[in-house]
A and B are shown apart, each in its own frame.
Chain A
Amino acid sequence: MRSFIRQLRPALISVVFFTVLLGVAYPLVATAIGQVLFHDKANGSLVRRDGVVVGSELIGQTFVAPEYFHSRPSAAGAGYDGSASSGSNYGPQNPDFLAAVAERAAAYREENGLAADAEVPVDAVTASGSGLDPHISIANARLQAPRVAEARGLELSVVLVAIGKHTDDRVLGVLGEPGVNVLMLNLALDDLSAGAS
C-alpha cells in the first residue's frame, strides 16, 4: 500500500504528460499533415454541384425517385443518416428481419419489372453494417438500369456505360470487392440528362 501511494505522484504527472502528448500534440500533427497533403480527403471527400455540397463520395444517400439508382436498405437513423451510423444487428433468423427482406424483395421486383419469382441480389435487400454504404453490387445496378434509362429517356447502353464508369474496382485489382458508387453515378446521370435536354 505504501509503495502504491508513493507511485501516485509519477502516475498523476505521467497521465497529464501523456494526455498532452497523445491527446493534443499527436492529433494536431496528424491533422496538420492530413490537411496539407490530402486536404479534400481529410475533410470527407465532399462532392459539390454548382458550389453546393451535395454529399460525400464515401457516404451513401437515400434515393427513391425512379430516375435514380437506389442505394441499399439502411439502418442509420431514418436511412443514410450521417450522424447516426448503424447496422440493423438483426440475427439471421429474426422473424422481423426475414419479413423485411421479403417485403424489400417484392418491392424491388415490382420497381424493376422483374418476374414475381426472380432472384434478387442479396445487397439490394439487406442493410449494410454502417447504414452508409456508398456502393451497390454491379448485379444490383444492372437490374436497376432499364428502369432508370426509361425514366430518364436515355438509351440503356448509355446507362450501362455510366455504371461501368462509376464502378470502384478492387484496390490494386485485389483488395476488397468491386461496387458501384450510387451517388457519383446518379450525379453523372443528372449531368447527362441536363446535357441532353
Chain B
Amino acid sequence: MSWQNILQIAALIGLLALCVPRLGRYMGYVYGSRADGTAPGDRFFNPIERVIYRIFGVDSKREQRWNVYAASMMAFTLVSLLSLYVLLRTQGSLFFNPTDRASMSPTGAFNAAVSFTTNTNWQWFSGEVAISHLTQMLGFAVHNFISAAVGLAIVVALIRGITRSRSRNLGNFWVDLTRGIIRILLPLALAGAVVLISQGVVQNFNGHTVATAVDTTNTDAEGNAIAEQLIPGGPVASQEAIKELGTNGGGYYNANSAHPFESSNGFTNFMEIFMLLLIPLALVFTFGALVQDKRQSRLLVAVMAGILVVFSGMAALSEQNGNSALASLQVDQSISTDQSGGNMEGKEVRFGAISCGVFAGATTGTSTGAVNCMHDSFTSLGGLAPMLHMMLGEISPGGVGVGLSGVLIMALLSVFIAGLMVGRTPEYLGKKIQAAEMKLVTLYILAMPFALLTFAAAAVVLRSAATYQAGPHGLSEVLYNYASTANNNGSAFAYQGTGTQWYTVTQGLSMLMGRFFTIIPALAIGGSLAAKPKVPATSGTMPTHNPLFGFLLAGVILIVAGLTFFPALALGPILEHLSL
C-alpha cells in the first residue's frame, strides 16, 4: 500500500465522519424526530407534498397499522414491478431507442423487473447491449429511487415500532415514501449527478458516436480492418448518482463503475464509494435521533464499521498482493512509483487494486452491487471477502433501510441470546422481546440462507449451470451469484452465463424471497413492538450501547453466517485457496 492509498482511505473516512451524522440528523427530522414534526425545508417541500398526496388520493394524516402499511408497500411494489416488466417486453417497439435494442424474453424480463424492484439490480444481461435509453430512464432510473425509498420507509416503520408505546400504527407508507424521495434521494442525486458530469461521466441522449480509429492497421480475428470505434452515449450520470446513493448498483453499461463513462477518474471512484456508504450509515444516526439515544447509534456504527473495515481490508490486501499463479510467468505485480501493481486482471489502471478492494467491501456491505473491477477475477481470498461479506446478511452498513432493519433484527436476537444466558426476559430499548417477536426474527434470519443455498444446491445438482469455470472456482461462482440475488446485492462472478431460463427464473425467485421474506417480518415485528408498553430500565436491564453488547452483536452476526455457510465456502473459495 502506498502512502497515497492510505491518505485516500483516511480522506474517505474523514468525509464520511463529516457528512454522515449531519445527514442522519436531517433524515431524522424528515421522519419526525422533532416533537412538532417539523423539518428544515418545510416551507418549500410541504406545499409540494400536499399536492402530491392530493394526486395520490391519500390522507397524509391517517396512519396505518403494520398490515395495512405492508399492503400499501406490496401494492406499490406489484404495480411498479408490472410496469417495468411491460416496458422491458415492449421496448423494441417503443420510441427513444437510438441504439435499436430489442424487447426482452418473458423470463429475462421477469428477472430484470424483479431485480430492479427489489433494489437488487442484478443484471443477467449487458446494459448497453440489451436495454434501450427509454427503459434506462423510465424503468431503471425510476426503480433506483423508489426501491431505495421503500427501504427507507420500512426501517422508519420498524423504528416507530420501537419508539411508540401501546400504539397500533406505524405511520403512513405513502407519506414516508414520498418524503424519502422528495426530501432525501432526489436532491442528493441531482447534486451527485452534476459532480459526476463535471468529471467526464456522460449525460446526453445520443446513441453511438462513430469515431475513426487512429491506428488503421488494426484488424479483427478474420483479418478485416477495424476502422472505427463506437463511443456510447446515454443519460448516465443521472443514473449513476442514484445507483450509488440508493445502494442499487445496476450499471448503465455492462462494465458498471469500471466503465470510464460511469467513473472517469480517481475522484469519481472516491465519490462513488462515498455515495454508496452515505445513506446507509447516516440512517443509523437517524435511528439514534428517533429513539433519542445517540449512544445506540454510535454502538451500531462501530459494529458496522468494524465489519466493513475487516472485509474491505481483506479484499484490498489480497488483490494488492497479486495472483500467485502469475508470479511464475515472470509478471511483475509489485507496487512502485511506476505502477500500482497487484492482481490487475479485471481492474482499471486509474483505480488500482487497493481502491478496488475498498469498493468491493463497500458494495457488498451495503447491498449495492456496483463494481469498479470484476470480482470473478479476484484472487481466491480476495473473492472470498465480498462473498462472505454478503452472506453476513449485508448489515455493514447494509442497503438503504433494509441494512439497518437487518442489524436491528440481529440486535433483537442478541438480547434474546443474552437473556437466555442469565434467565431474564430480554428487552431492547424498553420493549420486552417475547415469543411472537422471536418467531418473526427466526423467519427473517432463515429467509436469506434458504433463498441462497436451496437454489445454489439445486443448480449444482441439476447441472443447470452450463458455463461456469472448472474446479472449486465454479462452485464459488454459483455461490456468489445466489448470495448476490438472495441478499439483493447485484454484483456477480460474471463469467457464468446467467441468462438461461433456469437462472433467470430461480434467481428472480431468490431475489423476491430475499426481499419480501425479510421486510414483511420486519414490519410485523414493528407492529408487535408498537403495541407493547415501554418498560423502564432497571439495574437488571442489559445496556445495549456498551462495548460488551457490541462484541455480542458482532459475534452473533458472524456465528449465524459462519454456521450457515462454512460448509459451502469450504468447497468453494477456501478449497481454491488451499489448492494453490
Q: How far is it, in angstroms, between the C-alpha of A192 and the C-alpha of B200 when the chains are bound?
A: 27
The number of chain B residues with a CB under 8 A from chain A is 133
CB distance from A5 to the nearest CB of B (A): 8
Residue of B nearest to A73 (CB): B345
Contact B235 A31 (CB under 8 A): yes
Of A72, A80, A127, A129, which is within 8 A of B371 by CB? A129
Of B76, B230, B355, B473, which is within 8 A of A176 by CB? B355
> Mask for A16-56, Cβ within 8 A of B = 1, else 0?
01110111101101110111011001111110010011111
Q: How far is it, in angstroms, between the C-alpha of A76 and the C-alpha of B68 when the chains are bound?
A: 49
Q: How far is it, in angstroms, between the C-alpha of A55 and the C-alpha of B323 when the chains are bound?
A: 33
Contact B266 A92 (CB under 8 A): no
In the assembled complex, A195 has its CB within 8 A of some CB on chain B: no
Note all chain B residues with C-beta closer than 8 A to A158.
none
Interface residues of B in 335-356 (CB under 8 A from A): 336-352, 355
Interface residues of A in 107-156 (CB under 8 A from B): 117-123, 125-140, 142
Contact B331 A176 (CB under 8 A): no
In the assembled complex, B404 has its CB within 8 A of some CB on chain A: no
Q: A44-B233, A129-B258 are in contact. Are A22 and B58 (CB under 8 A)?
A: no
Interface size class of chain A, counting residues whose CB lies under 8 Å from the partner chain: 35 or more
Contact A11 B78 (CB under 8 A): yes
Q: A4-B74, A18-B145 are in contact. Are A90 and B269 (CB under 8 A)?
A: no
Contact B267 A17 (CB under 8 A): no
Interface residues of B in 1-43 (CB under 8 A from A): 4, 7-8, 11
Note all chain A residues with C-beta closer than 8 A to B238.
26-27, 30-31
Interface residues of A in 54-94 (CB under 8 A from B): 54-59, 61-65, 68, 72, 76, 78-94
Of A34, A37, A87, A105, which is within 8 A of B258 by CB? A87
Number of A-B contacts (CB under 8 A): 412
Q: How far is it, in angstroms, between the C-alpha of A78 and the C-alpha of B222 when the chains are bound?
A: 10
* Among A86, A92, A119, residue most surrounded by chain B Cβ atoms (within 10 Å): A92
> Mask for B44-66, Cβ within 8 A of A = 1, else 0?
00000000100111100000000
In the assembled complex, B261 has its CB within 8 A of some CB on chain A: yes
Note all chain A residues with C-beta closer than 8 A to B261.
44, 58-59
Note all chain B residues with C-beta closer than 8 A to A55.
211, 213-214, 229, 231
Contact A13 B56 (CB under 8 A): yes
In the assembled complex, A98 has its CB within 8 A of some CB on chain B: yes
The stretch of B134-142, B408-416, B434-442 that contacts the partner chain: B134-142
Of A13, A58, A118, A119, which is within 8 A of B264 by CB? A58
Note all chain A residues with C-beta closer than 8 A to B193.
30, 33-34
Q: A43-B206, A120-B330, A177-B349 are in contact. Are A30 and B194 (CB under 8 A)?
A: yes
In the assembled complex, A170 has its CB within 8 A of some CB on chain B: yes
Contact B71 A128 (CB under 8 A): no
Note all chain A residues with C-beta closer than 8 A to B420.
none
CB distance from A23 to the nearest CB of B (A): 4
Q: How far is it, in angstroms, between the C-alpha of A61 and the C-alpha of B213 when the chains are bound?
A: 8
A-B contact pairs, 11 of them (CB 8 A): A11-B79, A18-B145, A45-B200, A54-B213, A55-B214, A89-B493, A93-B471, A101-B326, A122-B322, A128-B346, A171-B270
Residues of A whose CB lies within 8 Å of any CB of B are 3-4, 7-15, 17-19, 21-24, 26-27, 29-31, 33-35, 37-38, 41-46, 49, 52-59, 61-65, 68, 72, 76, 78-95, 97-98, 101-102, 105, 117-123, 125-140, 142, 168, 170-177, 179, 183, 186-187, 190
Residues of B whose CB lies within 8 Å of any CB of A are 4, 7-8, 11, 52, 55-58, 67-68, 71-72, 74-76, 78-80, 83, 99, 126, 128-129, 137-139, 141-142, 145-146, 174, 177-178, 181, 186, 189-190, 193-194, 197-206, 208-215, 217-221, 226, 229-233, 235, 237-239, 253-255, 258-261, 264-267, 269-270, 322-323, 325-326, 329-333, 336-352, 355, 371-374, 376-380, 469-471, 473, 476-477, 493-495, 576, 580
- Kindly list the 3 A-B residue pairs having the minimum CB-CB distance in the complex, ordered from nearest: A176-B266, A129-B258, A175-B266
